[in-house]
Structure 1
Amino acid sequence: MNIGYARVSTTGQELEIQREMLISVGCSRIFEEKISGAKIDRPQLVRLLDHLREGDVLVITRLDRLARSTLDLLSIAERLNEVGAGLRSLAEPWLDTTTSAGQMILTIFAGIASFERSLIIDRTRTGREAAMRRGVKFGPKHSLNAQQIEHAMQLVGGW
């Protein structure tokens, strides 16, 4: 069963064009919302993902209507994979996980995203190490100074 998802960013925009496109490719149900794609909490998307069953295909008109980033796309694709549902974008024919080629493309994206995450971790670690060599202290500042800590230890019996 094809199930559509249509989203526009502002209340001034209309969903009609997306709705017509999704109906034309046989979507039996369409989840719609007017909310920024930058929002993490998109209630209709959550409802749609909960609604999908094995064999269903989530159809979108364009990738940017569904995902905010590669990581967001991969997270959604993983949820779809867990229930045995597919993903198809009308504007990006390469994004059709119901085909072998589409699955391969998504796997490549996952590899690239994993590589990007590794690079970020490496850069962060290198930056932290350099900052520590310069004497930068990480973590919260102590609430008590050394004198106050010593006094507190005397009060509790010299722990």
Structure 2
Amino acid sequence: MLIGYARAGTDECTLEEQVWHLHDEGCETIYEDPLPEEEKERPGLTRLLQVARTGDIVIVYRLDRLARSTQHLLEIAESLRQKGAGLRSIREPWADTTSPEGRIVMTVFAGIADFERALIRERTTAGRMQARQRGIHMGRPSKLSPADNAEIYKMATQDGLPIADIAEQFSVHKATIYRIISKFRSENG
């Protein structure tokens, strides 16, 4: 039996498009997880892995719809293998565990993809560190100006105003006030 699996994502491939492709491939049953990317629970995938049996082939539009990491992909593929089921990807024809060649190719490509993600992560981290060293601010812009920060520090340390009152006056969280105080103390010894 051909079993499809589709998971919503934030990219150009909608859940509906994936389901259409899976029907086109001949999937008799399709399990879906229409939840946002942040969701950890995937009841559709869990159910699919419970019902898969010998001779079944699980088909996905792309491997990234099935697993979030190489390790997770390999765990799912192994779980299906132990049940006597296979795995195939529509967009990655090399990912077909129903043949020995497909299994080895998928494992190699999965490893290469994982290596590439690690390189990208490493380059991104290095780029952020270099930007910080050049004084480039990362993240969203601060709601407070340097003059506001100086005023907050003065109000908290010299005037002795309560942190909650200062935070309310500047419409920020108390933790922001504590960070400003800590920053001023470390910069001014």
- How does the TM-score come out when normalised to structure 2? 0.53
Contact 1:59–1:89 under 8 Å retained in 2: yes
Choose between structure 1 and 2: higher helix proportion: 2
What are the equivalent positions in structure 2 for 1:25-104 lying under 5 Å apart?
Answer: 25-37=25-37, 39-104=39-104
* Secondary structure in 2 matching 1:68: coil
Distance 2:49 2:19 in 1: 18
Most deviating of 50-59 and 95-104: 95-104
RMSD over aligned CA atoms reads: 2.4
* Secondary structure in 1 matching 2:28: strand
Matched positions, count: 112
What are the equivalent positions in structure 2 for 1:104-143 lying under 5 Å apart?
Answer: 104-108=104-108
Contact 2:94–2:106 under 8 Å retained in 1: no
Change (3 A) 1:54 1:104: same
Distance 1:93 1:38 in 2: 28
Unaligned stretches of 5+ in structure 2? 116-189
Distance 1:43 1:65 in 2: 14
Change (3 A) 1:112 1:22: closer
Percent of aligned positions that are identical? 53
Distance 1:38 1:76 in 2: 20
Contact 1:37–1:66 under 8 Å retained in 2: no
Q: Which amino acid aligns with 1:95?
A: A
Choose between structure 1 and 2: higher strand proportion: 1
* Per-residue deviation, 1:105: 1.8
Q: Which amino acid aligns with 1:66?
A: L
Could you list the runs of 4 or more consecutive aligned residues of structure 1 that deviate by over 4 angstroms after TM superposition? 109-113
- How does the TM-score come out when normalised to structure 1? 0.63
